[in-house]
């Protein structure tokens, strides 16, 4: 039985662990997992640390790592994975496209104890592309790739099942600037047009459900037609795909398979809340996993900031899972420094949304008290990035000073504290 099926009758160990970590009632969480409004991605082969994503829980953050054809450094990607775990990533996706992809994935799964996600069609499509063309992928290539990842222990997989012949027609009629920016989405759009056939992942969705039920991995229903620029946001093609994903969420739940839904992308600030509410309505409260969203297209090198702004707005509106965006987005493969910057930016966005939802304020109160007390060690303990905070504190700091080098001997907190004591 899958975790979702077991949740229909009992509080499982995984549910109990998440309930304790989140401070929620186990029975309430059980009902949400059973209904599909919360997912706990956890392939029994990997047996990772349980992580709950969805209604009533803290906003989670995912980090993407992976090699490319131009940069195949497995040890470097493992260092990124360790760094992500050290700084509190809730999940990790291996998007490797260079080197021995199978070996890389298996090493990451072995070393990482948080949920691991992949996009199996990358590997199937790349193999076909390097032998002949992406459009020469077969249906067996697609499903065999998914099963291979499942057997390795992947906890959740992005599957672009919502791209159908109908949604491709919507795309053709659209006035998009960037067309398709999802790599997996582009593979399937090209495949459908070239082969003049329906997307096998949609046409044979029941077979995919059988596989997900067998290995108990979570479906992350991919947004292959997500907008790649502000101009393309919330257009007919994107919404058409989302409606299809809503149908597939319903079918997944009937089959006892956990499913979450992926979302945009590049979205103007004034459209983010509507996007989240639309997903929650169409997909019956399924956990929503968003990339950013980025709120402007003109900040290459700073897209961790544009993504964090959009992520905070999306999470406040009800998004459950933020995929980090690094400063290297649109430019190059991120290095360790980029991974850290992207993760911290998304964690700030997630925490800000949690506070607005009534969760996690105690930590900010502890930081405020530490600042009042000029207790630097306590401040560092509460900081999202303690090491960076220490570096800045040490920069130009006078050892004899309780304050910082910005205020020096006219520290507002110190002055007022001294005079309040006299009263």
Asked if residue 33 lies in contact with residue 4, where contact means CB atoms within 8 angstroms, the answer is: yes
Q: What is the pLDDT of residue 306?
A: 98
- CA 1 from chain centre, in angstroms, equals 26
Q: Distance between CA 349 and CA 217 in Å, rounded?
A: 28
> Where does the pLDDT of residue 412 fall: very low under 50, low under 70, confident under 90, or very high at 90 and above?
confident
Q: Distance between CA 33 and CA 193 in Å, rounded?
A: 38
**Domains, the chain, with CATH or none:** 41-356 (3.20.20.540), 361-422 (no CATH)
Asked if residue 61 lies in contact with residue 89, where contact means CB atoms within 8 angstroms, the answer is: yes
Q: Which residue has the tokens 């077979």?
A: 207
Structure confidence by residue, pLDDT tens digits, 259-296: 999 999 999 999 999 999 999 999 999 999 999 999 99
Asked if residue 28 lies in contact with residue 43, where contact means CB atoms within 8 angstroms, the answer is: no
What average pLDDT is seen over the chain?
95
289 forms beta bridges with 262, 321
367 CB-contact burial (10 Å; exposed 0-12 / middle 13-18 / buried 19+): middle
Structure confidence by residue, pLDDT tens digits, 26-65: 999 999 999 999 999 999 999 999 999 999 999 999 999 9
Both tokens assigned to 173:
């009629």
Please determine, for residue 378, whether its predicted confidence score (pLDDT) is greater than 80: yes
Both tokens assigned to 44:
């029994």
By DSSP bridging, strand 60-65 and strand 321-323 are: parallel
Q: Which residue has the tokens 């990790």?
A: 92
Q: Dihedral angle at the C-alpha atoms of 277, 281, 284, 289, nearest 10 degrees?
A: -30
Both tokens assigned to 216:
């108990």
The set of long-range contacts for 412-418, using a CB threshold of 8 Å and a minimum separation of 24, is 413/371, 413/372, 413/374, 414/374, 417/372
Q: Distance between CA 152 and CA 159 in Å, rounded?
A: 17
Residues near 109 by beta carbon (within 8 Å), at least 6 away in sequence: 46, 116, 152, 153, 154
Closest by Cα among 266, 276, 327, 323 to 299: 327
Structure confidence by residue, pLDDT tens digits, 286-322: 999 999 999 999 999 999 999 999 999 999 999 999 9
Write the CA distances from 319 to 116, 237, 277, 386, integer angstroms: 20, 21, 9, 27
Residues near 202 by beta carbon (within 8 Å), at least 6 away in sequence: 161, 162, 163, 164, 244, 248
Closest by Cα among 132, 135, 147, 158 to 62: 158
Residue 190 phi/psi, 5° resolution? -65, -40
Both tokens assigned to 263:
């979302």
How many CA atoms lie less than 13 Å away from 25 in the CB half-sphere? 4
Both tokens assigned to 353:
């949304």
313 forms beta bridges with none
234: three-class secondary structure by DSSP: coil
Structure confidence by residue, pLDDT tens digits, 248-258: 999 999 999 99
Higher model confidence: residue 394 or residue 157?
157
Please determine, for residue 398, whether its predicted confidence score (pLDDT) is greater than 80: no
221 forms beta bridges with 159, 261
Q: Distance between CA 282 and CA 278 in Å, rounded?
A: 6
Structure confidence by residue, pLDDT tens digits, 160-183: 999 999 999 999 999 999 999 999
Structure confidence by residue, pLDDT tens digits, 345-369: 999 999 999 999 999 999 999 999 9
Please determine, for residue 400, whether its predicted confidence score (pLDDT) is greater than 70: no
Both tokens assigned to 167:
């949604």
How many CA atoms lie less than 13 Å away from 227 in the CB half-sphere? 28
Please determine, for residue 420, whether its predicted confidence score (pLDDT) is greater than 90: no
Q: What is the pLDDT of residue 180?
A: 97
Closest by Cα among 349, 371, 370 to 360: 349
Average of pLDDT values for 16-28?
A: 98
Both tokens assigned to 69:
């054809």
């Amino acid at each position: 039985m899958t975790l979702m099926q077991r949740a229909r009758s009992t509080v499982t160990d995984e549910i109990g662990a998440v309930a304790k970590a989140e401070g929620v009632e186990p029975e309430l969480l059980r009902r949400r997992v059973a209904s599909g409004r919360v997912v706990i991605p956890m392939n029994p082969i990997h047996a990772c640390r349980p992580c709950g994503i969805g209604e009533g829980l803290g906003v989670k953050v995912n980090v993407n790592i992976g090699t490319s054809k131009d940069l195949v450094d497995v040890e470097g990607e493992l260092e990124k994975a360790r760094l992500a775990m050290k700084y509190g990533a809730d999940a990790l996706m291996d998007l490797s496209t260079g080197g021995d992809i199978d070996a890389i994935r298996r090493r990451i799964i072995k070393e990482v104890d948080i949920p691991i996600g992949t996009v199996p069609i990358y590997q199937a499509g790349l193999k076909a592309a390097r032998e002949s063309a992406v459009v020469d992928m077969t249906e067996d290539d697609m499903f065999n790739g998914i099963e291979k990842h499942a057997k390795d222990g992947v906890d959740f997989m992005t599957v672009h099942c919502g791209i159908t012949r109908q949604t491709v027609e919507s795309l053709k009629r659209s006035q998009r600037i960037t067309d398709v920016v999802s790599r997996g989405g582009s593979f399937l759009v090209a495949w459908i047009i070239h082969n003049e056939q329906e997307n096998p992942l949609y046409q044979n969705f029941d077979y995919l459900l059988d596989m997900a039920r067998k290995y108990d991995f979570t479906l992350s229903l991919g947004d292959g037609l997500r907008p790649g620029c502000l101009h393309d946001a919330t257009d007919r093609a994107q919404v058409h795909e989302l409606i299809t994903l809503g149908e597939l969420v319903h079918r997944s739940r009937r089959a006892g398979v956990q499913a979450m839904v992926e979302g945009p992308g590049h979205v103007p600030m004034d459209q983010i809340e509507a996007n989240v509410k639309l997903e929650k309505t169409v997909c019956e409260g399924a956990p929503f996993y968003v990339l950013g969203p980025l709120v402007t297209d003109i900040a290459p090198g700073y897209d961790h900031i544009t993504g964090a702004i959009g992520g905070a707005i999306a999470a406040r509106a009800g998004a459950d899972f933020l995929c980090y965006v690094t400063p290297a987005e649109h430019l190059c493969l991120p290095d360790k420094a980029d991974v850290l910057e992207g993760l911290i930016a998304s964690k700030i966005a997630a925490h800000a949304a949690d506070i607005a939802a009534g969760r996690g304020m105690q930590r900010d109160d502890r930081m405020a008290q530490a600042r009042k007390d000029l207790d630097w060690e306590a401040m560092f303990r509460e900081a999202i990035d303690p090491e960076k905070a220490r570096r800045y504190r040490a920069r130009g700091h006078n050892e004899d000073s309780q304050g910082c080098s910005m205020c020096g001997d006219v520290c507002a907190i110190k002055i007022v504290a001294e005079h309040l004591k006299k009263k």
